[in-house]
Amino acid sequence: MKRTLITGLLLGLVQTTALTAPAAAQEKVSIVVNATQEFGTIDPGKINDYTEYMAAVNLYSGLTTVNPDGSVVPELAEGWSVSDDDKTYTFKLKEGAKFQDGTPVKASDVVYTVKRLLAINEGPSYLFTDIVDADKLKVVDDRTVEIGLKKVYAPFISNTPLILVLNEKLIRENSKEEWGTDYLTDHPAGAGPYMLSSWQRASQMVVNRFEGYHGGWSKGKPIDEIRFVITHDEATVKALAAKGELGMSARAQANETFEAIEKMPGYKILRGTTATGFYIKMNTQVPPTDDIHVRRAIALATDYETVRNVIHPGEPMNGPLASVFKDAYLNDLSAPEYNLEKAKEELAKSKYAGKGPIKLSHTYVTGLAFEEDIALLMQANLEQIGIELDIKPEPWNRITELAAKVETTPATTQVFYGPTYPSPDSVFYVQYHSKAKGTWASMEWLQDPEVDALIDKSRETLDPAAQNDLYKQIQRKVTDAQADVFLTVESQRYAASKCLQGYAYIPMQSWDLNFSRFWWDCQAD
């Protein structure tokens, strides 16, 4: 069945001649972009993983967006001001910006969007529900909107790229529901650079360029059509490249796949250090990983050098935060150590010691070859210290379901996590605060009042130096709790056509895959 599906997919792509590398000579530039996960939703009020964020950044525009240096800059808002008490933010909207149906973007659309986030309480809404005061959302005029907060919240501007503004008029015309959930499940209602053309959930999504995009198309020959192909099969990705049909791969590929594609005519590898961590998340609330000595033993039995130099190249990771956040980064954390003898000594301190082999579940994403290699390496190492690793690969959507409850969350799970907004707060709050429990990003179930208090204090601290000091204290606490094995900071790689220009890493999940920032030039490389 798998072979038949892949063969059919490739045949379908071959018939679309505009997808081939010579597209630069044609009027329309159409590319294939590989993704390893299905698009679970395109509703910007419900997005929570990398493919969903990738869809959102191409179909919608936010009040603001993010530059490669991590700075938050205007997008639909041309600017903003903050009240003296730091609790009211006033945004002035860009003149002339329109939704994809031609409707002008108005302040009332922003108010509707934020009220919807607060009401449906899904996806990125956790960033706003305890912060934004629904009674203090105000339309000043068609181009001016006020957003009032319940309390001082220092990272607020860093959250505003996720206020992906919705076309209220279009939603009300097409849905009888107050918040249009039925309509937005399958239809975008935004002002983004691309329009949804078709979507087959398990296999592909096609988007086409919105010529009236408010951000313009002045960087060169734009990408007119993107066909997102869903597969984590390495052979399929290499076959697409061999036929000249691959515009850009997903980053989650095996070393061998990147090496093979780099040798093919017309291809390059895009590389860069990121803010994305690769973790083994350990459920601190279920046996046997509820015991810190077991967690420390697992960390000591991890062969970091082999993981990051052989299996999945990356940079050293000493704690929960990547060094990209220079001012907030705690420099004096020790590098994690691989030492089986120390691992045995640590395990002997556990309440589970002396009762026979300790059984441990381990989950990773089905079909990702490098994650399977890491699981097998962990299994071999842990066996030497008296832990039996039960490897349970699962589809990504199943992992997110398991993460919803503490009792179903596996003892250990391989997870990539990168900031969903450009602030260290995204790393700390989303993964470690008790209020963030029940998501794939918080599979540690840390539930530590001291960590919660430090995170809460950092969120209301406006002085950058004092805030960075709190961030460093959080890193120390989380590292000491050993709720994670810190495998690597991802050295991001994409295989891409040499004709594809404009890529730059952005420290916000999938915001580097906004294809309005790219252009097509086969002479540049």
Stretch (H or E) spanning 374 = helix 369-383
Q: What is the pLDDT confidence band of residue 22, given thresholds at 50, 70 and 90?
A: very low
Digit-coded pLDDT (tens) for 58-85: 999 999 999 999 999 999 999 999 999 9
Both tokens of 307, joined, read: 């993981």
Give percent above pLDDT 90 in the chain. 89
Cα 137 to Cα 155: distance, rounded to the nearest angstrom: 18
Taking residues 6-22, what's their average pLDDT? 37
Whether 355 is in a domain gets the answer: yes
Can you tell me whether residue 33 is helix, strand or coil?
A: strand
Using the 3D structure, point to which of 111, 133, 168 is the last residue of a domain: 168
Side-chain-side CA neighbours of 503 within 13 Å: the count stands at 20
For the stretch 254-266, pLDDT in tens is 889 999 999 999 9
Q: Are 412 and 477 part of one and the same domain?
A: yes
Q: Report DSSP letters for 106-138, one per residue.
A: -HHHHHHHHHHHHHH--GGGGGTTTTEEEEEEE
Helix (H, G, I), strand (E, B) or coil at 336: coil
Q: Residue 525's pLDDT is what? A: 66
* One domain for residues 334 and 454: yes
Please report, as a single letter, which amino acid is at residue 291: D
Distance CA 66, CA 158 (A): 9
pLDDT attached to residue 26:
53
What tokens does 161 get?
């790229």
Mean pLDDT, residues 12-30: 51
> Is 43 within a domain?
yes
**What is the pLDDT at residue 313?**
87
Tokens 């796949």 sit on residue: 257
Number of residues that this document lists for the chain: 525
In this structure, the answer to whether residues 362 and 260 fall within a common structural domain is: no
CATH code where residue 373 lies: 3.10.105.10
Predicted confidence at residue 451, as pLDDT, reads 98
Q: End-to-end CA distance of the chain: give it in Å, rounded.
A: 39
Residue 208: strand, helix, or coil: strand
Residue 363, beta-bridge partner list: 413
Asked if 238 and 267 count as a contact pair (C-beta separation under 8 A), the reply is: no
What percentage of the chain exceeds 70 in pLDDT? 95
pLDDT value at position 261?
97
> How many domains does the chain contain in total?
3
Two structure tokens written together for 350 = 């556990």
Taking the C-alpha atoms of residue 389 and residue 383, their distance in angstroms, rounded to an integer, is 7
pLDDT value at 431 more than 80:
yes
- 177 within some domain: no
- Can you give the pLDDT at residue 32? 97
Dihedral sign, Cα of residue 355, residue 358, residue 359, residue 361: positive
For 140-198, the pLDDT digits (tens) are 999 999 999 999 999 999 999 999 999 999 999 999 999 999 999 999 999 999 999 99
For the chain, what is the radius of gyration of the CA atoms?
A: 23
47 within 8 A of 55, measured Cβ to Cβ: yes
- Do 364 and 454 belong to one domain? yes
Task: Please report whether residue 175 resides in a domain.
Answer: no
Residue 248 included in any domain: yes
Asked if residue 30 lies in contact with residue 225, where contact means CB atoms within 8 angstroms, the answer is: yes
Half-sphere exposure for 139 (CA within 13 Å, toward CB)? 14
pLDDT at site 202:
84
Find the helix or strand (DSSP H, E) in which 348 lies: helix 340-348
Strand pairing partners for 164? 62
Query: For the residues 5-16, what does the mean pLDDT come to?
Result: 35
Pair (484, 344) in one structural domain: yes
What is the distance between the alpha carbons of residues 413 and 343, in angstroms, rounded to a whole number? 19
* Residue 19 reports pLDDT greater than 80: no
Same domain, 218 and 131: no
Same-domain check for residues 393 and 444: yes
In terms of domains, do 439 and 426 share one? Answer: yes
Q: Is residue 317 part of a domain?
A: yes
10 Å CB burial of residue 379 (0-12, 13-18, 19+) is middle
314 in the same domain as 439: yes
Dihedral class, residue 345 (left if φ above 0, else alpha if ψ from -120 to 50, else beta): alpha
Q: Are residues 298 and 444 in the same domain?
A: yes
CB 232 within 8 A of CB 252: yes
DSSP 42: -
- Predicted confidence (pLDDT) at residue 246 exceeds the cutoff of 70: yes
Strand 30-35 relative to strand 225-230: parallel, antiparallel, unpaired?
Answer: parallel
Residues contacting 108, CB < 8 A, separation 6+: 139, 142, 168
DSSP state of 309: I
Q: What is the pLDDT of residue 494?
A: 96
Whether the per-residue pLDDT at 15 is higher than 70: the answer is no
pLDDT at position 23, please?
A: 40
Other residues' Cβ atoms within 10 Å of the Cβ of residue 170: 21
Residue 24 clears pLDDT 70, i.e. is over it: no
Mean of all residue pLDDT scores within the chain: 93
- Same domain? 50 vs 70: no
Same domain, 293 and 259: no
pLDDT of residue 104: 98
Residue range 368-387: mean pLDDT, rounded:
97
Adjacent-strand bridge partners of 206: 198, 227
pLDDT digits (tens, 9 = 90+) for 331-359: 999 999 999 999 999 999 999 999 889 99
Burial of 412 (0-12, 13-18, 19+ CB in 10 A): buried
CATH of the domain at 218: 3.40.190.10
In-domain check, residue 183: no
Q: What is the average pLDDT across 501-509? A: 94
Q: Please spell the DSSP secondary structure of 244-272, one letter per residue.
A: T-EEE--S---HHHHHHHHTSTTEEEEEE
What distances in angstroms separate CA 98 from CA 78, 107, 137, 189, 215, one per listed residue? 14, 12, 22, 11, 10
Its domain, for residue 239, covers 27-58+192-266+498-524
The CA-atom distances, in angstroms, between 504 and each of 52, 57, 225, 422, 510 are 20, 15, 20, 15, 11
Is 259 inside a domain boundary? Answer: yes
Question: SS3 string of 268-291?
Answer: EEEEEEEEEEEEEEECCCCCCCCC
